[in-house]
Amino acid sequence: MRLNRYLSQCGVASRRGAEEIILGGRVSINGHIVTELATQVQPEDKVVVDGSPVRTETPVVLVLNKPKGYLCSRGDKHERMTIYDLLPLKYQNLHHVGRLDKESEGLILLTNRGDLSHRIIHPSQGAEKEYEVVVDQPLNVDVMAKLVKGMMTEEGFARAERAWMDTEYRAHIVLKMGLKRQIRMMLYYLGYEVERLVRVRIGWLKLHGLAKGSYKELTPTEVERFFKQEAAKPRLERKPAGDEGDDEAPRRPASRGRESAPREQRAKKKSGPPGRFSAEEKPSRFKPKSKTFSPRSRSGETGQGERPRGRSGPPARRPAPRGPRRGPSSR
């Protein structure tokens, strides 16, 4: 087993965090400091981190329905209640995956597996967290759109993956990010105060059936679902055309009244939008003049022997100027 994975299973840190610990020279195996990430750990090896021996523990993953008024902390200098006050002694060594503030409630995971913590917390891994939010003023679709678009907060840029309304005062917001008090800050910038905030889902795991303040241990099969699940899709998605299970891409249906003729035949019949014509259909801008056209012919005044007017035929002679022609000598 690789050393970083071994440290992760011991609950020291996530795999990435374990790599930093190894490169920092804080790990020794059988008395020798190890800085190679590819080091393999054998069952009989003695691994020490920062002077303390570590060993693999039986993987444990708990899900807890946190009530309002409890801190996500191992201890508090003001002696306030923490989530570890709800757990028996054998689970006191577990670390919580992420956190909920004191006034929030709902699902939270506790485990000794660092790889699971990384999977849930890191936004690139695709583990979604869904929250049910109750606010003090009526909501609208514009507010939902602004939550998804995102905004700058004191903790940085914050946005929701999806958001929708249940009622005027209650909405559901899905996050992948984990900024401090993210939902409360986003709604505060939009002019709302959060009256109740409940985390109802982590990945595939939902809150249904778990009373406030109670917990249960997940089975190995349930834990593996966090690693095998795909990223959740949007609530509304287009239904694929065609039968299910068809590997081929669905074809675009033909328009009504259009025959499935060859492309060459369709090209001949194709006409442009109104006001435009093809080269064969485009009418002449001016009608050609008839050879027998005459303005007088409209009223029937032209005789049979009269020559029609027009530019056809030889050009007319220029009439002679009237009066005596002035020459150079007449000046």
- pLDDT tens readout for residues 48-59: 999 888 887 778
- Whole-number Å distance between alpha carbons of 315 and 313: 7
Is the predicted pLDDT of residue 328 greater than 80, yes or no? no
Is the predicted pLDDT of residue 136 greater than 90, yes or no? yes
Predicted pLDDT at 146? 96
Exposed / middle / buried, residue 210 (Cβ in 10 Å: 0-12, 13-18, 19+): middle
The pTM of the full predicted model, rounded to 2 decimals, is 0.58
- Whole-number Å distance between alpha carbons of 90 and 87: 8
In this prediction, residue 22 has a pLDDT band, given cuts at 50, 70 and 90, of: very high
In this prediction, residue 200 has a pLDDT band, given cuts at 50, 70 and 90, of: very high
Q: Could you read off the pLDDT of 259-317 as tens digits, one per residue?
A: 444 554 544 444 444 333 343 444 444 444 444 444 444 444 444 444 545 555 555 56
Neighbours of 104 (CB within 10 A): 22
Neighbours of 159 (CB within 10 A): 17
Is the predicted pLDDT of residue 135 greater than 90, yes or no? yes
- Whole-number Å distance between alpha carbons of 62 and 232: 23
| Domains in the chain with CATH codes | 3-54 (3.10.290.10), 128-202 (3.30.70.1560)
194-202 vs 105-111, strand pairing mode: parallel
Is the predicted pLDDT of residue 128 greater than 50, yes or no? yes
Exposed / middle / buried, residue 169 (Cβ in 10 Å: 0-12, 13-18, 19+): middle
- Whole-number Å distance between alpha carbons of 95 and 111: 6
Q: Which of 76, 101, 166, 246 is catalytic?
A: 101
Bigger pLDDT: 40 or 254? 40
Predicted pLDDT at 114? 74
Give the three-state DSSP class for 85: helix
In this prediction, residue 177 has a pLDDT band, given cuts at 50, 70 and 90, of: confident
Residue found by looking up tokens 């200098």 in the block: 77
Asked if 134 and 106 count as a contact pair (C-beta separation under 8 A), the reply is no
Indicate the DSSP class of residue 82: B
Q: Estimate to the nearest angstrom the gap between the alpha carbon of 214 and the chain centroid.
A: 34
Neighbours of 145 (CB within 10 A): 10
In this prediction, residue 175 has a pLDDT band, given cuts at 50, 70 and 90, of: very high
Predicted pLDDT at 255? 45
Using CA atoms, how far residue 75 sits from 12, 47, 95, 99, 238, in Å, is: 19, 28, 12, 14, 49
Bigger pLDDT: 197 or 93? 197
**Residues above pLDDT 70, as percent of the chain:** 67
Q: What is the mean pLDDT of the chain?
A: 77
Predicted pLDDT at 158? 94
No. of helices (H) and no. of strands (E), the chain: 7, 15
Is the predicted pLDDT of residue 201 greater than 60, yes or no? yes
Is the predicted pLDDT of residue 182 greater than 60, yes or no? yes
Using CA atoms, how far residue 210 sits from 103, 104, 217, 270, in Å, is: 19, 16, 12, 65
Confirm whether 101 is a catalytic residue: yes
